[in-house]
Structure 1
Amino acid sequence: MRTLVAQSWKRSAAAGIDADHAEAPLRLEHRDLLAYRASHPLSAVFPLLHDVLGRAAEASDCVMAVGDDHGQLLWVCGRPDVLRRAEGINFVEGTSWGEELIGTNAPGTALRLDAPVQISSREHFNVAYKPWSCAAAPIHHPETGRILGVVDVTGGDAVDLPQTLALVRSVARLAESELGRLSLQRRLASQERVGPTRRATRTTRAPRTTRPVLVLRGLGRPDCEVVLAGRTVRLSPRHGDVMAVLADAPEGVTAERLATEVHEEEVRPSTTRAQVTRLRALLGPGVLESRPYRLVPEVRADWLEVAGSLRAGRLAEAVRSYRGPLLPESTSPGVARRRDALERDLVAALLASQDVELLTAATRSGWAADDLALWERQAALLDPGSPLRLAALSQVRRLRIEYGLEPAPGRPPLTRSRLGRM
């Protein structure tokens, strides 16, 4: 018996756990569970965990679980038939799998040791868990190092491979990196909200010719957000369409051109004029001129900054700044054309890149999670021994099946021979 397992068994016995009858207790009822996990820090990275690890686990007849720092399972994902089998050992959302409660198991022991742990079927302290194997790794706060929770894969013989633990460990590190990125993004946004007030103080001493700055945010958002002179305004969908067109036309546009850019159907110029009049009142004086329609302040739009980074060859900067498609819910012809062109240029630059880290950052984001070409490029660049390559190949297979490029296969277990063919 491995030393790690032997020591865990001693702790389990010392805790008085009944190896024949101990059962994971249900600590969170459904309503409490939903409220707790919605506010939990790992909720921000659960989509990433599910996309990178959950789908691979499902394809291998396993389940993926994410728990808090006490071992309480907040999410358990897998195929319905596998989930039903997992219910037989109470491996369900809301139960607690702390080592001190039910004995040696990967999630509980990983939290106890603050280290990645793999437990094969025979190594479980509890007799009921002997048919199962599991691999888990703790997830830490990127700044304080505090344990936030644990990610786990539980299944049959498919889990009893060294590659499984390596994959789980890598996914936990990905989650920590994403938490760090989100934390940095929040700090920068907070500084940006404070920044306009400070700039306003300085502009009182600046020459009268200094232009105000109009900040627009529309990437990955259902609406366009405007920041001007310390004031933030969220625009209606139609006003957001107007701003997206005007931001890209510093020379100005006529009412006729604006109408064709913003509306799917033909409308009277008077309709466009009325919309611009309401928008001008919303923004305040000195922001939007007429004949032609033109934005007076200096415009800094997040989608224009991404396009500028791409033109300058700063791909890493473009990937970091791209938070999703421009106003994804808009059906405006002008917005749709700009949205498609920007994403097409970004994907083309990524496909031409040799930087696997940028490809990984893109595919783990929501906007590129289902881009087959990017997943294929990532898999081609990853080292054959990298645990991330297994996840990338799993995504390639999933997408090729979803897009009808290959028939849906059966679901054989993830064996050593299959791994070798990858």
Structure 2
Amino acid sequence: MDASTTSATALRAAHERFVTAPGAVSHVRDLVAASWRRCERYGVRPDGSRLPLLHTASGELAAYRRTHPLATALPLFRELLGAGAADDGHIFAVADADGTLLWVEGDLATMERGERMHFAEGADWSEKRAGTNAPGTALELGHPVQIVTGEHYSSAVHAWSCAAAPIRDPATGRVLGVVDLSGGATIATPPALAAVRGAALAAEAHLARTLTTPVRMPDPVGYDDVRLKVLGRDCALLESGGRFLRLSPRHSEIALALALAGQGVTGDRLAVELSDREVPPSTLRAEMTRLRAVLGPTLLGSRPYALLRPVRTDLGEISDLLAEGRVAQALARYPGPLLPRSDAPVVVEQRRCLEQQLRGAVLGSGDSELLRRWIAADWGADDIPAWSALAHVLPCGSPQRAAAAARAHALDAESAVPPQVVRHAAVLQRSRS
């Protein structure tokens, strides 16, 4: 299926079908269908309600751009793509290997349109943050990609088409970044894809001539790396710049909600994600003030509320391992449920989602060792299907097979006993003791 020959209406209809019935992908290219499935696993919102994270520390971005190896190729991109983009009402962008847009230039009106959806310098357009898009998906796949209108996972980008190609270090083959053309209908054509391919090849040739040693990548844009550990603990542990902060249960919920959002959220939206009951705005403001005193103004922003640096979570790391099919590694790094005592809606939803993904991967693996590790943990000890699956994969005649089958049968029998009978038996036992 050719992207340029599929109507925008048909693509949006296919997108709507996938959103309402995940897994039912039709009338889209295979690479788009695979990308949509990844986006669903990453938790990207298809309705456009979460725009890509936009770094606001312009000084940090400027310093990062000056030291980035693709800075030397910027005049070449301007020569090959810049003038044509401006004349045709398009823009071109150069991003780093993580999907952060370093330069966005071209038609001023189109740049303003792009800024409204955070397609701007400093924004994270990786597939994990922005959904299916040419720069992010090209980085994900490692080859040139063209994404048109409704092929974008986020509906906020359905009016756009884009083409992008990765740029590699000629000495090592490592991806340094990506060059992109974005705009209207004429981007959804073979010449646009050929243009970014040519620009990427020209940049690689330029680097081969000017560099005598392999590229040393600068530290990513932003401040010190920030990690948030939220699995198997009631209070999150935040690591930043060598500092370790143990957050209160409520601050743990807020930090997780903001990390998952990826960009600013309003107070009203944050209140809904934190509680089923109404949270007075004054209460939330007071809580955010206390959290800002803990984290500092360089990490926590307001109007809207946002974490101002990219935050890696152990939740996201395990989700990534599962997405890559690395079940054993995911289970080994899973210390327990997400903030297990929290009843915040955003936490409950993410906790259930991760448990379902991990449990399904373990049960579907057919690996006796993984199944043993699952049932040996507190959260898997009473998992009837897991015991049954273990019995099924163990050799016939094995004592362990018989024991696993017996345990599954006993748990099944216990689950069939009405709760009132269990309570009555407990009362009788207490009265006899």
TM bin, normalised by shorter chain, reads 0.3 to 0.5
TM-score by length of 2: 0.44
TM-score by length of 1: 0.45
